[in-house]
Structure 1
Amino acid sequence: MMAEPGRRRQKHLMAKIKPQALLLQSKKKKGPTRINPSTVITCNIIVILIVLSLYATYRNWFNRSSNQLGTGLENFERSVTSGESTGTHLPSYAIFNTSKGSITIELYKDASRDVVNKFVNLCQKGYFKGMLFNHVIKNFVIQGGHSQTLEVAGDWILKGKAHSQLATSPKHEAFMLGTLKPNKGSKELELFITTAPIPDLSDKLIIFGRVIKGEDVVQEIEEVDTDEHYQPKSPVGIVDIALKQEA
């Protein structure tokens, strides 16, 4: 008889405890699931690999763009220095450093583009370094050329004294830079600086520049002593030619 009331109390206590246990279990199910540490490490590694991949892609693109830009600039600079460019890319001025002083010449790169192009190319190759003025004819021209082309001025010598009486031409005035019209296959380029108007040579000369500074140097060269063949008794010539975009 005494054991029966004890069992009833035990069942009553168990009935009270069970809902609390179920409540605790329910809370545990609803709570956040713990992430495995190995999963966290794996995710971090994946993120790092993605970032490194994006960085490598950016570097590759940046380097390729820089190389293309550098190549473009090199090609542009090479074309200018070799005289292969035309129009505004060609130098606008040539500075003749002579044994008598400096002569600045404005190049007619629009009116005589092909000749200026060839002139620039030869300048860059050093063609005019040390070139002598082989003929100096007062009131006419001073001529620069290499030894194998001296004979080209032969037919001018008898005309030299008469040219000071010719009418001035807008194209063939004094202090103009010109060269002979090229023959087929000719690779040489002689230089002529006029010291008087010479319009009757329109069919022989191509004018591709004019002296804008150093006229006094041209006149000093014109006054040098020459022999009977109009060749200077003392060497006078071009030391070098510098090309400039601005005078």
Structure 2
Amino acid sequence: MISVELYKDGVPDVVNEFIDACQMGQLKGMQFHRVIKNFVIQGGDFDNEITEEWTSKGKHYDQLDTSVKHEAFMICTSKGKRDKEGFELFITTAPIPDLNKKLHVFGRVIKGEDVVQEIEEVDTDEHFRPKSWIGITDVTLERKI
């Protein structure tokens, strides 16, 4: 199990879209379709094509909070907004400063770092696609007060 904390103050549009995607069941059953060791685990809005320029598709969010850096175990999405097409999700597996102005950090893993590390070790093909299904089996939202 992986638990995450969301950074609503930094990028509220992104967090709200993520929460909506969770509530609509879009993340349940979502496959991680790209696993790159010491970089990212990627899942979500996927149309059977691996694109190299995954940081510039779609309509852009209004804000890019660059105060939160891409350390290991950060939860991110691309700058493009998907309007009902799904939600693209990245979990960083190492510090990646090159992504600081390319992906929105909107949360971090607070429990389950070992699970992220296990996913990072799966066998992949030459396009970094896992050879076996890896994904999200269930999503639970909790509000901490």
TM-score, normalised with respect to structure 2: 0.83
Alignment identity in percent?
Answer: 61
- Deviation readout 1:36-63 (Å, 9 max, x if unpaired): xxxxxxxxxxxxxxxxxxxxxxxxxxxx
Higher relative contact order, structure no. (Cα contacts within 8 Å, ≥ 6 residues apart): 2
Aligned to 2:88: 190
Runs of 4+ in 1 over 4 A off after TM superposition: 183-187
Who is 2:99 aligned against?
201
* Equivalent position SS for 2:80: coil
Larger of the two Rg values belongs to structure: 1
Provide the rounded CA distance (Å) in 1 between the counterparts of 2:87 and 2:129: 19
Q: Which has the higher strand share?
A: 2
Residues 180/220 of structure 1: CA separation in 2 closer, same or farther (3 Å cut): same
| Deviation for aligned residue 1:147 | 3.4
Q: Offset at 1:109?
A: 0.9
- Listed as ranges, the gaps of 5+ residues in structure 1 are 1-101, 157-168
Q: Does residue 171 of structure 1 match 2:69?
A: yes
Query: Quick one: which of 7, 10, 14 aligns to 1:115?
Result: 14
The question of 1:143 aligning with 2:42 is answered: yes
Alpha carbons of structure 1 residues 149 and 207: separation in structure 2 relative to 1, 3 Å: farther
- After TM superposition, list the pairs within 5 Å mapping 1:1-247 onto structure 2: 102-148=1-47, 150-152=49-51, 154=52, 171-183=69-81, 187-246=85-144
Shift of 1:151: 2.5
TM-score where L is the length of structure 1: 0.50
SS state at 1:120 partner: helix
- As a proportion of its length, which structure holds more helix? 1
